[in-house]
Amino acid sequence: MKDNFVLVFDIGSLKLRASLAKKGLNNTFNTRGFKEYEYDGFYQGEFIMPERLSLIFEQIVQELDALPSRELDKVYIGVPAEFSSVLRTDVSINFGMRRKIKQADIDSLFYMAGEKAKNSAVEVVSVSPISYNLDEGRITFEPLGETASSITASLSVVYADKKFIDLFNNIIAGLGFESVEYISEPLSQALYIIPKEKREDLSLLIDVGDLTTSISFVKGNGLYALTSFSRGGGFITNDLAEAFDLSMNEADKLKKQIVLSLKGKPSDCYELSADLGKIIRIPLVSANEVVSYRIDELSEVISKCVQMNTREYMSYLPIYLTGAGITKIKGGRDYLGKGLGRNVNYGKPPLPGKDKPELASIFSLLNYALSSNNK
């Protein structure tokens, strides 16, 4: 099993990505195929054209030459934040005497949390540890081999909407694969992008896509809290189109030229080639204001989430930004950081030549799938 390829799908709000790969040298990936497919996407937790998904998946599988076989009988699918929810729960075991903690004890805690968290409208995707409390006082992130008479685990249970699971179960079954495993996209990103030492206290992961944004609070190896809402880089493109009477294609060209750090004079303009070939001049100051408005809106939502999920406004809270919604706007990350009053880091896959924030989701899912497959 260790050397087998895995097939992973990343369900974006505008693009579907798929990768067929296995582990390479030095924690890299040996990729046999990679596909990116623009589709109708989803908005406010609903797929816009769900009936088209089966054909898209079939086309991707054929183009990757990833047909079901004895070596490739399983598919991994990332569950976006808009179809997810998180529950934190504490479960305990009292041993009655001091002894070393075994893997079976940890497995029992996870099982108890999964059973406790069952809900008919959702399915449990993962149970992950935030921290462990030994003998009601000693906090640890690595309890195996420790000696204690009792252990309490603070665990994070990630759910996926039953409708999402049913939809993709049917699609994968129709393709002839034997099984499908669902992976929390925000959790896989958190574990792959954020260094372990930064997760000992709260960290924040912001993934801004085209039509959706997720805000994940991360601690230990689990999601402490998760929020998502239907706003993203596509809204900025739409705002530019409306403000300056542009087509969406022209607005996208303008967005690629925006530099938010430029102050500019009233006479300064961005120049772009219109769909009909003529040159359009757009006032720099006005265009920057349109883009800034949406990022300000995002800053306000993030700040409220921080206040709701932390006991105090934590100035040292590490923040990581992924997705293409803001990271591809020149000066976008810094402008977001200014609005939040703190530094924002790019969340990049630790892969030479592929360390781009917009690739964080697919490579995080791939890393998680390969780790799961090897187990």
Nearest partner of 374 among 115, 76, 131, 102, judged by Cα = 76
| pLDDT 10s digits, 127-137 | 999 999 999 78
What is each CA distance from 303 to 95, 187, 341, in whole angstroms?
Answer: 42, 21, 10
What is each CA distance from 207 to 12, 128, 155, in whole angstroms?
Answer: 11, 20, 23
Helix (H, G, I), strand (E, B) or coil at 203: strand
| pLDDT 10s digits, 269-310 | 999 999 888 999 999 999 999 999 999 999 999 999 888 887
Torsion on CA atoms 135, 138, 143, 147, rounded to nearest 10: -50
Task: Tell me the H-state helices in 176-232.
Answer: 185-193
DSSP secondary structure code for residue 41 in this structure: -
Backbone angles phi and psi of 100, in degrees to 5: -75, 140
| pLDDT 10s digits, 170-223 | 999 999 999 999 999 999 999 999 999 999 989 999 999 999 999 999 999 999
Locate 304 and state its tokens.
């409220």
What is the widest separation between alpha-carbon atoms in the chain? 81
Question: What integer pLDDT is reported at residue 228 of this predicted model?
Answer: 94
> First CA to last CA across the chain, in angstroms?
9
Residue 119 has pLDDT above 70, yes or no: yes
CA pair distance 349, 64, nearest whole angstrom: 23
Residue 109 has pLDDT above 60, yes or no: yes
Residue 1 has pLDDT above 60, yes or no: no
Predicted TM-score (pTM) of the model is 0.94
Residue 94 bridge partners (DSSP): 150
The CB density around residue 326, as the number of other CB atoms within 10 Å, is 28
Question: What integer pLDDT is reported at residue 308 of this predicted model?
Answer: 87
* pLDDT bucket at 313, cuts 50 / 70 / 90: low
Give strand ranges (E) for the chain.
Answer: 6-11, 15-23, 29-38, 42-43, 46-47, 74-79, 84-100, 122-134, 138-140, 147-161, 179-184, 203-208, 213-219, 222-229, 269-273, 279-283, 319-322, 345-346
